[in-house]
Amino acid sequence: MNAKRLTTPNENVQQLQEKLGHAAKENKKRRFHALYDKVYRRDLLWEAWRQVRANGGAAGVDEQTLADIEKQGEFQFIEECYRLLKEGKYHPSPVRRKYIPKKDGKQRPLGIPTIRDRVIQMATKLVIEPIFEADFQETSFGFRPKRSAKQALERIRKACNRKGNWVVDVDIQGYFDNINQEKLMKLIAMRISDRRILKLIWKWLGAGVMEEGSVRRSDLGTPQGGVISPLLANVYLNYFDLLWERHGGQLGELTRYADDFVVVCKTRKDAERAHELIRVIMKRLELTLHPTKTRIVGLWTGEEGFDFLGMHHRKTKAETSNGRVYYTTQQWLTVKAEERIREVVKERLAPPKMRHCSFEDHVAWLNPKLQGWRNYYFTKYSQKKMAKLDWYVIQRFTRWYAKKRQRARWMGSLREVRHLTQLHGLKTLL
């Protein structure tokens, strides 16, 4: 007789998610009341830990790193999470605030929760996500399983080609920091009635931010950098998606990726009405549209375009084989995306401390990035830009190589470098 194969934590979690997702789809008004005990299931905590570890990341306010947990014992760590949740003694730590400098001189705030908080947030997300997934609209693509930015871009391209000549390009001012927590909890409670799960989410919302030794708490926003934050943000904006479907569907086609979205309309009048409706719904959610970044763009002349998800969208003239002229939507990488690629390559190859690395090391480091950029940004309309970026990579490699060899003129090393890139299999964007 064959011994029964043991299922992995990952398979167990998938089975649970399928069951919950199916139940949520079957009854759109069902409220789930027995979920908390699933969050501290050991197999679920192991799967949550596996995913958090795979994502990497720095330590939170307790200064405990992923390596520390592995050293002290993963089993012990999981058991501690299990015990704290089961006994109701779990309390999240404040989020560690870190600032990343932006190009414009401003600083982007980044929140880093402790690893324990990340694991418990991940376990909760694994349980509640399929329930909310059953309610999310087709228009939403960001931070959702089996949905991607590429799909969102394709939806926009098709909408523009279906006589979509006007676009409302929307930017919500400080979205993640301005979510009304009470309204968010009401939206969550429409699907989840388990008081212990609701209490857990309230704790994360109220954990606060640790900055320069003191904790600052706010009754607005979701936990910055928290694993569960994108899901909560989607729950909040799903209210917008539903209202749009009900009242704005005839005005234009909505495509949303997290807090960024565009509405593609056929006429300027529709675009203006769409803009006003968006403003009204956002007011109900206590959110503000960015005054300069939110705009109406006319595509029909081909003089204007808009940036969305790292791609520039513009209508340009094309000709059929029999000479008929028509407009088609072209997409190519934005100026910002180009600059970012150049920046990453330069940061790797320009510093004097990188001269001790071998050609092979640099190729091994750059290849996955080059492949990722090609997969995302390549279209038949971005070939010129990709060719320029390929030349930039070769140029940077040649400068690095000349300095390593202590040669005064870098151009003299170009042929040698081209040979080495072929020898070591450097990937290209084109």
Question: Is 282 found in the same domain as 248?
Answer: yes
Please name the residues in contact with 267: beta carbons below 8 A apart, sequence gap of 6 or more.
Answer: 165, 166
Residue % of the chain over a pLDDT of 90: 84
Question: Is 43 found in the same domain as 30?
Answer: yes
Q: Which of 163, 189, 219 is the last residue of a domain?
A: 219
Task: State residue 374 phi and psi, 5-degree precision.
Answer: -65, -45
Q: Which of 315, 332, 349 is the last residue of a domain?
A: 332
Q: Is residue 257 part of a domain?
A: yes
Question: Is 65 found in the same domain as 91?
Answer: yes
Q: Is residue 347 part of a domain?
A: yes
Question: Is 294 found in the same domain as 323?
Answer: yes
Residue ranges of the chain with per-residue pLDDT less than 70: 1-5, 103
> Using CA atoms, how far apart are residues 333 and 382, in angstroms rounded to an integer?
7
Q: Is residue 312 part of a domain?
A: yes
∠ CA 419-421-427 to the nearest 5 degrees? 145
pTM across the whole model = 0.91
* Sign of the C-alpha dihedral computed for residues 145, 123, 16 and 3 taken in this order: positive
Please give the residue range of the domain that contains residue 86. Answer: 13-134+181-219
Question: Is 323 found in the same domain as 354?
Answer: no
Q: Is residue 176 part of a domain?
A: no
Question: Is 363 found in the same domain as 270?
Answer: no
pLDDT score, position 188: 98
pLDDT score, position 2: 53
> Using CA atoms, how far apart are residues 186 and 194, in angstroms rounded to an integer?
13
Question: Is 341 found in the same domain as 310?
Answer: no
pLDDT score, position 99: 81
Name beta bridge partners: 170: 261
Q: Is residue 163 part of a domain?
A: no
Token code pair at residue 8:
């992995």
Q: Is residue 6 part of a domain?
A: no
Question: Is 106 found in the same domain as 60?
Answer: yes
Domain count, the chain: 3
Q: Is residue 76 part of a domain?
A: yes
Q: What share of the chain is helix, strand, coil (3-state, %, to 5)?
A: 50, 15, 30
Longest CA span, the chain: 75
Question: Is 212 found in the same domain as 86?
Answer: yes
* Residue 235: closest CA among 187, 168, 193: 187
Q: Which of 270, 300, 332 is the last residue of a domain?
A: 332
Q: Is residue 20 part of a domain?
A: yes
Question: Is 52 found in the same domain as 185?
Answer: yes
Q: What is the pLDDT of residues 303-350, one digit of tens each?
A: 899 999 999 999 988 888 888 888 899 999 999 999 999 999 999 999
Question: Is 352 found in the same domain as 341?
Answer: yes
Question: Is 383 found in the same domain as 327?
Answer: no
Q: What is the pLDDT of residues 312-322, one digit of tens each?
A: 999 988 888 88
pLDDT score, position 387: 98
> Using CA atoms, how far apart are residues 62 and 201, in angstroms rounded to an integer?
21
